Amino acid sequence: MSDNLNLHSPSVRWGEKRYHSLDFHLRSRFGEKVYRIALNGGMTCPNRDGHIGTGGCIFCSADGSGDFAGRPFHTISQQLAEGKMHLLTKRPVHSYIAYFQAFTNTYAPVSYLESIFTEAIEDPDVKILSVATRPDCLGDDVIDLLKRLNQIKPVWVELGLQTIHPETVRFIRRGYETAIFDQAVQRLRGAGIEVIVHVILYLPGETEEMMLKTIEYLNRCDIQGIKLQLLHILEGTDLADIYREEHFYVPDMETYIRMLGQCISHLRPDIVIHRLTGDGPKNLLIAPLWTGAKRSVLNRLHQYLKENDIWQGKEYHG
Ligand code: SF4
């Protein structure tokens, strides 16, 4: 390394970005770009089928937050083939994350989970198995299965925490206590599985201080990745009805960028950032409509981080 290289400069750590991006992480780990293919394992969710609740989380779309996932009546191999074909029309790609996205992807008998997850990782182009689920749907048998699969290919588990604040948890009808999340993280980490946490920013009633408290809480958890997503109000959700009645606060782009700057600055530097904007389906999106221009949002964020000399972990003090 040259003597005049500034070791505190974020570019020394994460390429051209001022944060620990998923792209940087995957390139460092696999030597190339790895693309996500969203899959649908045909499961439902205990927060919808009456086991915990019937309405689901208030923001969840009819597709169980898997609006871009494959079609459940297709096999996993078919869904992977379709996902690859779609990506290959845009760029030369040959490494993938098999991402079980729609609904709760461990809410089924373990024998079924074993068959669909194995089908995914048997594809030689699949480098990682990623499973989105609820922390209260991780029985010992499921964790044992994920641990076994993790010996074959890396397994990530994505947990939808959204917030740590009990009043918001009740409002969004998440349906589990944050202590359940803590236990799930510990058990997954005990099995050697990487944990990614989904957080929603600007849930109704949450202040900037509250959002930062969620980030600070996660800094103390043994997690490896985070998805930060601005709340999307989607057609057909209970949140949409509340929005039409109450018109609760929805930030504009500059406000959101400033908040992201704060989150990034406070976030532990080793945590990989998997997402910084929402990826909601445009045909269902009621607000905030400016999030549809994802590239512009990210460009503005990068510019903002540079202008204000912000990098991931700048305000993180252990
Ligand atoms: S836990 Fe996930 S799938 Fe279930 S209702 Fe909530 S967001 Fe939707």
Q: How far away, in angstroms, is 103 Cα from ligand 1 center?
A: 6
Please determine, for residue 17, whether its predicted confidence score (pLDDT) is greater than 70. Answer: yes
Rg of the chain in Å (alpha carbons)? 19
94 vs 136, which has greater pLDDT? Answer: 136
Mean pLDDT of 41-45: 95
Residue pointed to by tokens 């079924």 = 112
- What is the full DSSP assignment across 196-240? EEEEEES-TT--HHHHHHHHHHHHTS--SEEEEEE--EETTSHHH
Q: What pLDDT sits at residue 7?
A: 47
Best residue among 48, 136, 158 to mutate for probing ligand 1's pocket (most ligand atoms within 8 Å of CB) is: 48
- Quick check: CB of 175 below 6 Å from ligand 1? no
* CA 291 to ligand 1 center in whole angstroms: 21
Asked if the model's pLDDT at residue 255 lies above 70, the reply is yes
Kindly report the average pLDDT of the chain as a whole number: 93
Is residue 160 lining ligand 1, measured as CB closer than 6 Å? yes
Q: How far is the CA of 223 from the centre of ligand 1 (A)?
A: 21
Q: Is the CB of 229 under 6 A from ligand 1?
A: no
d(CA 137, CA 64): 15
202-226 pLDDT per residue, tens? 999 999 999 999 999 999 999 999 9
Q: What is the set of domains in the chain, with CATH numbers?
A: 16-307 (3.20.20.70)
Q: State which of 40, 47, 169 you would mutate to test the pocket of ligand 1, scoring each by most atoms of that ligand within 8 A of its C-beta.
A: 47
On the question of pLDDT at 4 being above 60, the answer is no
pLDDT tens for each residue of 276-306: 987 678 889 999 999 988 899 999 999 999 9
User: pTM for this structure?
Assistant: 0.95
Average pLDDT over residues 171-184: 98
Say yes or no: CB of residue 60 within 6 Å of ligand 1: yes
